[in-house]
Structure 1
């Protein structure tokens, strides 16, 4: 918990308003879904400097800005420890600031700086997404993790298809996303433009994180089986101990009754 607070993902402070915890749980997966829109918005604004696709990307940035601002202000309103909430969730403020800056129109000489800022902004968003996905380490969550992986690799494949002229089809883009995200890197298709190389950096980070989560979920399954076995054995030992205590108590009561009968004076 301390590490999450230092990383700016502490959530509602401990011992706070129960309504704040309730709304935090309600909004968790809604915010994850909205945060994932940062990836297509980044593709659209990088691949298209003008036109409807560019404006669609800016619209997604505006939606992210509105959603994160609304969530932050609403939970800040519900929490009693408002100063702690701001201190423990500074990452949300950076994401809001990044979404706000990404909506600015800049001249061409500032374009590399803006692209770097957008890359940092998208990375911060995915840091928060991965922090929420720590709850997916249960064994039953593996299908959901695989589903998220398929979705993200599909989006990344579309991004490579849009950004790189060397990728001739959507499926080649998906293949490039898979070999990049899994850190295999066969080399049959490689990113050749600045935009696709930046995207490849993101895919490596996201793919490595997803594979780590899947591995952790499988490890949690085997560790969980050992814990279940130990728990069953402990419960069995407790039941046997209770039975022995009951037997000892009954034996003590019998001995006490026997001693009492022996200590009574015999009648003539």
Structure 2
């Protein structure tokens, strides 16, 4: 496990979103992964619910229903994981934010107007952020490969600088934000056309930015493709290794069976030889010869 990964896990534990410990049983780990996607859907719903409440366009009855639904989902996840993990105390310590939200949310469910209702919704958003971080492991792996994270950071810096430059070169842009927006849609070759350069200098700069965007996003696309191809190849190699192990085990079994059969054949041959010897007449079993000197 890399040092960066350990630091990430330590940070998640401190904020109460540690998840299942690496030393837990495989069943708990499996169910933690299974619950990630339903909780991700819940996280998206929390964002939508927060937006509707912030705009004041949500019906009070529907607000009550969503509060109960979100609370039941959090309580169900906690109950399932506590039933599966080996060390419940450790799980509660690493995920202390979940029981805090569940316990402090009970008065709010029954309509008690408390001062921390807004704080509770903010904690739900923090849970949503933690869920997104949990399911973003593939993204972290992608960014750690082929210096992709640094490449994206450089691209973002180049985009911001381009936004400032175009806003100073061309009078069609009222400020840096307009320039950054134009640089973004230009580098991604989307080209909405809501903001366009009006001077020759601005258009020349736009042409250079389009070329840079094509090269940059081609490189990013190639890096993503390489990541998924490598992952598929890794799965294929692991599958081939498992097949080779099975074939080796089968060969060992066949060798043992062949050895046992050889021993059985040898034993049968010995038994047949012993039976053949037993069937041969012995000298003592022959009838006595008549004595010619003895009168009849």
State the structure with more CA Rg. 2
Q: Normalising by structure 2, what TM-score?
A: 0.41
